[in-house]
């Protein structure tokens, strides 16, 4: 029996998101200055999306104690700042540990739709 994992975005109350609507929700949050988004799955996993509106950190965690795995851009040079967390902290990440926005959106949409990374996704397992 196939069980479909569902995802919730806690945005002033839990909002169910599908792969068809997650990008619209993320774009709306970015447009309003909310650059950190956490989604929680029905199986307890978490998907983090933190952006500076040019690049994004995309992380998938199995549970609260899991260091998880994150998307990477091998060979990218330099670092980018402006990753504003919900508590006001502003982070800087090496560009190799973040991905361009189009790739970040593709990854999030696929994970929300299928529960897993795309087969061609470049990622580092931090466990």
Question: Tens digit of pLDDT for each residue in 64-110?
Answer: 889 999 999 999 999 999 999 999 999 999 999 999 999 999 999 99
103 phi/psi in degrees, rounded to 5: -70, -40
Mean pLDDT, the chain, rounded, equals 93
Q: Exposure of 35 by Cβ count < 10 A (0-12 exposed, 13-18 middle, 19+ buried)? A: buried
Which DSSP symbol is given to 109?
A: H
């Amino acid at each position: 029996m196939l069980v479909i994992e569902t995802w919730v975005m806690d945005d002033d109350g839990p909002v169910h998101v599908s792969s068809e609507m997650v990008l619209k929700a993320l774009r709306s949050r970015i447009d309003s200055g909310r650059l950190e988004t956490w989604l929680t799955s029905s199986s307890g996993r978490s998907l983090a999306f933190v952006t500076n509106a040019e690049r994004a950190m995309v992380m998938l965690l199995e549970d609260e104690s899991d260091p998880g795995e994150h998307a990477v851009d091998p060979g990218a040079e330099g670092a980018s700042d402006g990753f504003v967390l919900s508590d006001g902290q502003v982070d800087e990440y090496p560009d190799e540990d973040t991905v361009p926005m189009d790739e970040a959106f593709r990854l999030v949409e696929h994970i929300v739709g299928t529960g897993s990374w795309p087969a061609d996704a470049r990622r580092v397992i931090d466990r």
